[in-house]
Amino acid sequence: MKLAIASLLVGSAAAFAPAASFGRNSALNMAETSTETEKAFAKLPASVKPGVVTGSALTDLLDAAKEQGYAIPGVNIVGTNSINACMEAAAKYGGPIMVTFSKGGGQFICGKAVDNTDDAASIAGTIAGARHVHEVAALYGVPVVLHTDHCQKAWLPWIDGLLSASVDHFEKTGSPLFSSHMLDLSEEPLEENIGICKDYLEKFAKVGILLEFELGVTGGEEDGVDNTDVDSSRLYTQPEEVFYAYEQLSQVENGAFTCAASFGNVHGVYAPGNVDLQPLILYNSQKYIQEKIGSDDDKPMRFVFHGGSGSSVEDIQYAIGAGVIKMNIDTDTQWAFWDGIRAYEAKYHDYLQGQIGNPEDDTKPNKKYYDPRMSLRAGEEAMAARLVKAAEDLKCVNVLN
């Protein structure tokens, strides 16, 4: 299996220690208080409902994944076609889905012809995509996490714009527009990385947004982030680094966070055997933190796996056993979408050579074949099918009811 996934997310049930018993008026509970006793899904906490999941409902969902031993597919999207394919797949495999926006994906949604000075197009497009999800997600009958992917230090204005939209949404609805944001400051010194993350977590916590941060580096290249020439030693995070981040971020009141800790992960497509994955790092980190905080939980941290191309299903599921609760997928779903379109063109090739005339009749119109919705729908179906297969590998099938 070649899941093109991103880096590894660690967030602890204890990582939310200051927020483990959130007050009823906290940002993480306001949206759930009136309905939390009515269960929508038999296998999930009552706080988790169909539609966009934020705040304490999100942490409840991630805890359920960790406890039940599955990982949620986190899928990079580029428009409503790929967004809808994600939710269609989730409805088919019977589990949650994480819809993930990149800075470049947001810009594409806005339109490549639009001036992106000061990240204006990236911000507008990401917000537009998020609003689409809010409007339709509940209709698919599954929990949907709205997430943003790798944000380097130079790209923080993009997150600032999205946070402003979430604050506005929170003031109107009691919940943020986005469920979570990833800050990838792994190129910075550890103290600076976590210091900036802590500053942002202070802001996120006020409106119930979860922080994902990265330690170490995910190799390869993805959507403007190029680490193809990085020193191999930086591909492996040390338990002491994970604990330092945990300790610092736990000081944020009502803060919820996860950590993308690298253990040999690489973005892109690689043949099996070319990626030296070391998921044992995750187990060692769990043990180290458990001993440091004196927890009875042998998996106090939540991990998320990025850059899994070239990894075996066995390695991936071994990592899930260490507390991985989300895996990012991009390259494989991009290929699946294209392959669906390619297959459609091949099947109807002779009907796609002109507006009039096909093998049936020289005067017969071909509009129903070249209507863009036809080929795009073929792409959606192929992408959804690939995600169902990914969910099976991640043990995320039939986890709702």
Residues with active-site annotation: 149
Q: 44 with 64: CB under 8 angstroms?
A: yes
Per-position DSSP letters for 150-166, written without gaps between them: ---GGGHHHHHHHHHHH
Amino acid identity of residue 133, one-letter, is V
β pairing state of 180-183 and 210-215: parallel
Closest to 181 measured CA to CA, from 167, 168, 195, 163: 163
DSSP state of 142: S
Look up tokens 């507006």; give the residue.
355
Helix ranges (DSSP H) in 206-303: 239-249, 280-293
At a CB cut-off of 8 Å and minimum separation 6, what does 104 contact? 122, 223, 224
Scan for tokens 């999100």, then name that residue. 58
Q: What is the CA radius of gyration of the chain?
A: 21
Residue 51 — left, alpha, or beta (φ > 0 → left; ψ -120 to 50 → alpha)?
left
Burial class (CB in 10 A: 0-12, 13-18, 19+), 134: middle
